[in-house]
Amino acid sequence: MGYYPKCCSLLMSFLLVIAYFQASLQLAIKKVNIPEGVKVGEEYVILDCDYDLGNTSTKGLVVKWYLNNFDLVYQWIYGSAPQAIDPASKYIDLHYKASHDPNTMYRAMKLKQPDIDLSGNYTCLISTFEDETSAKRPMTVYSTGREDEFKLWHTKKIISDIDESIEVTCQAVGLYPKPTLDIIIEDYSDFKSPRPIITETEDGHYNIVTYLTLDNDDLPDSVVINCILGIPNVNYNATKKLVHYTAGRPTTLTAIAIGGTTKLLRKMEIQALDISQADASNGSGNSAEQKRINFYLMLLTAAIFIYID
C-alpha cells in the first residue's frame, strides 16, 4: 500500500533535481549594446552581445551575428579565429577583442567607417551543445549629405507691373534613410510648403526638394523663412534660414493696412510718374494733368484714412 506514494515522491524529487541542474547550466545574455543610429563615416562602431555561460560547457560554443535575420556576417567558433562574411566583411575588424576572457573575447563586432548598407536588424546568437540564446536590435547608419548641399534660396517672379511673388526653394542631397523637408514662415503658420519631391539614387541615397510660392502682397515688410530637414528614424534635424525683405513696399499706413487699395495707389503713382517724365522730356511744362492726378491721389488717400478710422 505504501509503495506507490514512495515511488511518486522519489520521482518528484528526481525531476526537481533535473530542473535545478538545467537551470544552473543556463546560458544567458547579460547585456546587448547595439546603437540605434550611427552617422556615415564614423571611425567605428561596436556591436556587443555580452553573455554568461553559467555552468554551461564551452563545448560547441559558437557566436554568430546576423544582419536582417538571414545574412550571417560574423562567426566565432570557440578555439578558432573569428570569420567575417559578406556583405559586412569589408567593415569588420577581426582583430578586435571585447574582453580578455577566452570564453567571450570575440563576442562583439567592430565595424570600421560604417556606411548605409549596414543598416538593418542585427541578431546575436550564442549557442553551445547544451543551450542557445539570442537577442535582436535595429541599427540605422544614416547620411546627412554634405552641408554645402543643403540649400535654401528664393527667386523673384514678376506677374505684372504692380504684382510680384517669390518662389522659395529648399533642397538637400545624399541623405539616408528617407528624409523630410519643410519650408515654414515664422509667425505665419498658414504658409507651409506642400509635400516634397523625393528621388532615390542608384546607390540608395535620397535627394529631396520642396517649393513654396508667396505673394508679396500677403507678406509684411520682412519675413523669416526656415527650411527644416529631418531624418525621423534617428531624430536628426537641421535648419537653414533666410530673411526676405519685400522690395518696393510702401511704408505708409494705407499701403500696409489695405492690400487691394495698395495695388490701385501703386498704379496711379506709376501713371503720374510716367506723365511727369513725359512732360519733362518734351519741355511742354504742362503740369495741369499732373496736378489733377495728384489731387485725385490726395482725395483717395483721405477717403481710405476715413474708412480705416
The yes-or-no answer to whether 26-143 and 147-245 have a common fold is yes
Report pLDDT for 157: 76
- The band of 164, judged by pLDDT with boundaries at 50, 70 and 90, is confident
Calpha distance 309→305 (Å, rounded): 6
Q: d(Cα 271, Cα 289) in Å, to the nearest integer?
A: 11
Residue 184 has which C-alpha cell? 515654414
pLDDT at 193: 87
Rounded Cα–Cα distance for residues 131 and 60 (Å): 10
Query: Is residue 14 classed exposed, middle or buried when 0-12, 13-18 and 19+ CB atoms within 10 A define those classes?
Result: exposed
C-alpha cell of 294? 495728384
Q: Are strands 164-176 and 132-144 parallel, antiparallel or unpaired?
A: antiparallel
**In terms of DSSP bridges, do strands 37-39 and 132-144 run parallel, antiparallel, or are they unpaired?**
parallel
pLDDT in the model for residue 241: 95
Angle at 47 between CA 41 and CA 50, to 5 degrees: 160
Place 22 in a pLDDT band, splitting at 50, 70 and 90: very low
Is the separation of the CB atoms in 49 and 32 below 8 Å?
yes
Predicted local distance difference test score (pLDDT) of residue 267: 40
Q: What is the pTM of this model?
A: 0.68
Question: Which distant-in-sequence residues (6+ apart) come within 8 Å of 241 by Cβ?
Answer: 152, 224, 225, 226, 227
pLDDT at 250: 41
Pick 16 or 87 by higher pLDDT.
Answer: 87
What average pLDDT does the structure give for the chain?
79
Between 263 and 1, where is the model more confident? Answer: 1
- Mean pLDDT over 150-154 rounds to 94
- What pLDDT does residue 15 have? 40
Q: How confident is the model at residue 13 (pLDDT cuts 50, 70, 90)?
A: very low
Residue at grid coordinates 474708412:
307
Q: Please, which pLDDT band fits residue 8 given cuts at 50, 70 and 90?
A: very low
Q: How far is it, in rounded angstroms, from Cα 224 to Cα 245?
A: 9
Peptide bond between residue 232 and the one before it cis (omega within 30 degrees of 0): no
pLDDT of residue 210: 97
Q: Where are the domains of the chain?
A: 26-143, 147-245, 253-308
pLDDT digits (tens, 9 = 90+) for 187-196: 888 888 889 9
Q: What per-residue confidence (pLDDT) applies to 28?
A: 95
CATH topology of domain 147-245: Immunoglobulin-like (2.60.40)
More confident residue, 157 or 202: 202
pLDDT, residue 156, reads 82
The top-scoring range by mean pLDDT among 12-26, 250-264, 273-287, 289-303 is: 289-303
Percent of the chain residues past pLDDT 90, beyond the cut: 56
- HSE (CB half, 13 Å, CA atoms) of 25? 16
In angstroms, how far is the first alpha carbon of the chain from the final one?
113
* pLDDT, mean of residues 234-245: 92
- For the record, the C-alpha cell of 253 comes out as 499706413
Q: Which backbone phi and psi does 228 adopt, to 5 degrees?
A: -110, 120
Reply yes or no on whether the pLDDT at 218 is more than 60. Answer: yes
pLDDT confidence of 300, banded at 50, 70, 90?
low
pLDDT the model gives residue 159 = 64
Predicted local distance difference test score (pLDDT) of residue 295: 54
CATH topology of domain 26-143: Immunoglobulin-like (2.60.40)
**HSE-up (13 A, CA, CB side) for residue 142:** 19
Answer for the pair 34, 139: CB distance below 8 angstroms, yes or no. yes
Give the mean pLDDT of 124-128. 97
Considering only 99-103, 152-156, 285-289, which range has the smallest mean pLDDT? 285-289
pLDDT band at 291 (very low <50, low <70, confident <90, very high): low
8 Å CB contact between 166 and 216: yes
Residue with the bigger pLDDT between 21 and 98: it is 98
Q: Are 51 and 126 a contacting pair, CB within 8 Å?
A: yes
What pLDDT is recorded for position 148?
A: 87
